[in-house]
Amino acid sequence: MEKRYFIGVTLLLTVLSTNPILANRVNTNSPINLKQVNTLASQISSTLYKRGLDKDVAYELSNNFVEDEDYLNEKINNFLDIYQKISKEDLLEHLSTVALNRQKINFDSYDNLISIVSKINGSHPDIHDLKKLRTISNINKILC
């Protein structure tokens, strides 16, 4: 009986001591962009809806604007990561205006990036910003 008790206690202590070591901690702030319910198209659609458009029309406009969600999302993330003077909300406002006007936007184009920054900030970007925009353009061209 003593031997069985000793083995049981040893096993219990082993499990209790190794469990915290082996357990994986859930990281809620992981840098991986998981697909969420809030896709880019739905965010643009909700922005257009908040502006007073009908829900169906806003949904149709946003889906026509966003053709390839994954590539566009990656390009926008590159833009926001490198050029940190513009918030995602401001960019979504601008993208919803572009979608409303049924225009297309190209995050590979240096000229389009300058236009985006100029329209959102209301002024022409300085030399350091232009270098950042050139870098963003080059990175986004590689993604195609």
Q: Token pair of 138, please? A: 């080059």
Q: Looking at the domain assignment, is residue 22 inside a domain?
A: no
Characterize 66-104 residue by residue with b for buried, 16 or more Cβ atoms within 10 angstroms of its Cβ, and e for exposed. Answer: beeeeebbbbbebbeeebeeeeeeebbbbbbebbbeeee
**Cβ atoms within 10 Å, residue 33:** 10
112 in a domain, yes or no? yes
Lowest-confidence segment of 5-14, 67-76, 93-102 by average pLDDT: 5-14
12 pLDDT above the threshold of 50: yes
pLDDT per residue as tens digits for the range 47-68: 999 999 899 999 999 988 888 7
Q: Are 44 and 99 in contact (CB under 8 A)?
A: yes
Closest CA to 97 of 38, 56, 53, 137: 53
Range of the domain at 115: 37-143
What's the Rg (C-alpha) of the chain? 24
Q: How confident is the model at residue 4 (pLDDT cuts 50, 70, 90)?
A: confident
pLDDT in tens, 101-122: 999 889 999 999 999 999 999 8
Residue 16 lies in a domain: no
State the chain's mean pLDDT as an integer. Answer: 83
Is 31 within a domain?
no
Q: How many folded domains does the chain comprise? A: 1
Contact 112, 119 (CB under 8 A): no
Helix locations, 101-126, DSSP H: 110-121
Q: Is 80 helix (H, G, I), strand (E, B) or coil?
A: helix
Residue 29 lies in a domain: no
Does residue 108 form part of some domain? yes
pLDDT: which is higher, 10 or 83: 83
- Mean pLDDT of all residues in 19-23: 61
